[in-house]
Chain A
Amino acid sequence: MADTSIKDFEAAIAELESIVKKLEEGDLALEQSLELYERGVQLSRFCHARLEQAERRIEILNERGELKPAPASLTSEDPGR
């Protein structure tokens, strides 16, 4: 949906910043204020999504450029010293 209008996390933050600024400065109509607010909510939803997007995953890149899951020993809290 409208999320395609958001380029990336940094762009979302930048736009959110400009919206806040506009709301703070501009003598806007109620209608427009609400539109901006709506967009602000949309942007913050996008940020939420991005925060979750990165998966808790560790991969090993081998010499042939293939990605394999990391051995469990690497991720265990105690390396068994």
Chain B
Amino acid sequence: MADLFDLPFEEDDSDARSNPPEPPAARRQVFSVTHLTIRIRDLLEEQIGQVWVEGELSNCRVWNTGHLYFTLKDEQSQLRGFMFKSALRYLRFKPVDGTCVVARGRLSVYEPKGEYQLVCEHLEPQGLGALQLAFDQLKKQLQAEGLFDESRKRPLPALPRKIGIVTSLEGAAIRDIIKVLRRRYANAHLVICPARVQGADAAPEIARGLRQIGRVPGVDVVIVGRGGGSIEDLWAFNEEMVARAICRVPVPVISAVGHETDVTIADFVADVRAPTPSAAAELVVSRKDEFCGRIDRLHDRLRSAARGRIQTLSRRVHVAGSRPAFAAFPARLAMRGRHAADLTHVLARALRNGLAARARRLQVLERQLATFDAGRRLGGLRARLVAAETRLNATINRQHDRAAARMRTVLGRLESLSPLAVLGRGYAVAWNADRTRILRDATSVAEGDRVRVTLASGELDCEVRSTTE
């Protein structure tokens, strides 16, 4: 039993026995639970007040009221914590279990449960900076949603009609962009939606700007960005609302934030990332340069292809003219002089008409181009195009003339095969008296009939003395 007496319980018991008798009930100070709890609360709130405390987050839970409940713990102890929705909004990272944090807050007591807790005003992650953590978290989330996927990236328009820009009117970025565009694409049409790009209002303003600019008719590419600064200065471009606004712009978006080395969430979701605002302007314009080169090359090819076609066709006419069928023509012409003459004439007319029609069409095209060019003067770019077109037309025309000349040569040969030419070689054509019919058959005339004979030079009026079959 002696052991039992050594136990604290027994000791308390013996203490109680050795203590002086309790004061009478009337002199006792009896607290209600609430009263005592309030005293404890006052004591904690006054004595400890605002504190900084470090530990690991666990049991993090945002209730549907929007407030955050969590437990802060280390190896031996735990502390309940609570954070109002209003304070939670300012956190730049998402509090999740396992994060080591430093919390600032006030100790308070939750009377209904008799529990004390830390009413947290601010949380920041230990080690990794809050911004870095926030960046990593958002990046991971958006990536998981597929917002960085290559398949989402839209190509920039070949030649932007209107270039939308969301940035501050006060910053260096807008001046850089305008300067570059003026230099490389003088007649660029810009629509600028001013937005603060720094501070607490920046993210909502940029997001609004992106929404608005996407609705402007004709805007077919958007640059969003700002000049260089600290990570805090650039922070708006790491905000979720800006990232989502970029994704929702109906036309391609170029992000242009800070310097080459600054990478923001906006860069990941944008269709194209430009290292700087000037580079963004160059990206838009270089597309145009690319196109001019392409048009030039197309003109070259169009010209030489058309030239090739015409050469081939001319050659064919040439070859046709020297075929055996044509070579044997003279003999047959002797028999069918008139027919050949007719044929020659028809062929020649058809060829001439065809050529003339085409020549007229080329002339019309040239005139159209001429009136088109007569207007405003253009920069070097357009001048290049005009030069290419003029060259193209001149070449086509020259080739056409050459083709026409070759056809004339062929026609000349056909002419040389005409009855008159044949007559020059000693043949003669015999006609009936009124010269309406060529005589091909001796039986078609009778003794005493008159016939006419055409020679190379002059005609004979003859009388048939006899016929032989």
Contacts and interface: CB of A to CB of B under 8 A. Distances in A.
A59 B302 contact: no
Interface stretch (B159-167, B230-238, B318-326, B446-454): B159-167
Given A54-B189, A56-B186, A44 B295 contact: yes
Contact of B174 (A33, A61, A65, A74): A74
Contacts of B216: 61, 67
Interface in B377-400: 378, 381-382, 385-386, 389, 392-393, 396
A40 B389 CA distance: 10
A40 B189 contact: no
Interface string A9-36: 1100100110110011000111101101
Nearest to A10: B158
B249 interface: no
Interface residues of A, number: 45
Interface string B197-236: 0000000000011001101100000000000000000000
A30 B310 contact: yes
B309 A51 contact: no
Interface stretch (B63-71, B117-125, B361-369, B412-420): B361-369
B306 A30 contact: no
Given A13-B291, A56-B187, A58-B190, A51 B313 contact: no
Given A38-B365, A54-B160, A61-B216, A47 B192 contact: no
Nearest to A44: B389
B192 A58 contact: yes
Interface string B366-377: 001100100010
Contacts of A34: 306, 358, 361-362
Contact of A60 (B186, B192, B369): B192
B348 interface: no
A20 to B, nearest CB: 4
B298 A16 contact: yes
A52 B361 contact: no
Nearest to A79: B175
A62 B205 CA distance: 12
Given A48-B385, A67-B216, A79-B175, A24 B305 contact: yes
A9 B191 contact: no
Pairs of residues from A and B, 5 with the lowest C-beta to C-beta distance, nearest first: A23-B305, A33-B309, A61-B193, A56-B187, A20-B301
Interface of A: 9-10, 13, 16-17, 19-20, 23-24, 28-31, 33-34, 36-38, 40-41, 44-45, 47-48, 50-63, 65, 67, 70, 74-75, 77, 79
17 contacts: A9-B158, A9-B159, A20-B298, A20-B302, A20-B305, A33-B306, A33-B313, A37-B302, A44-B298, A44-B299, A48-B386, A52-B378, A54-B160, A60-B192, A61-B209, A61-B216, A75-B178
Given A34-B362, A54-B188, 10 more contacts: A9-B159, A16-B302, A17-B298, A33-B310, A34-B361, A36-B306, A40-B302, A41-B368, A48-B372, A54-B161
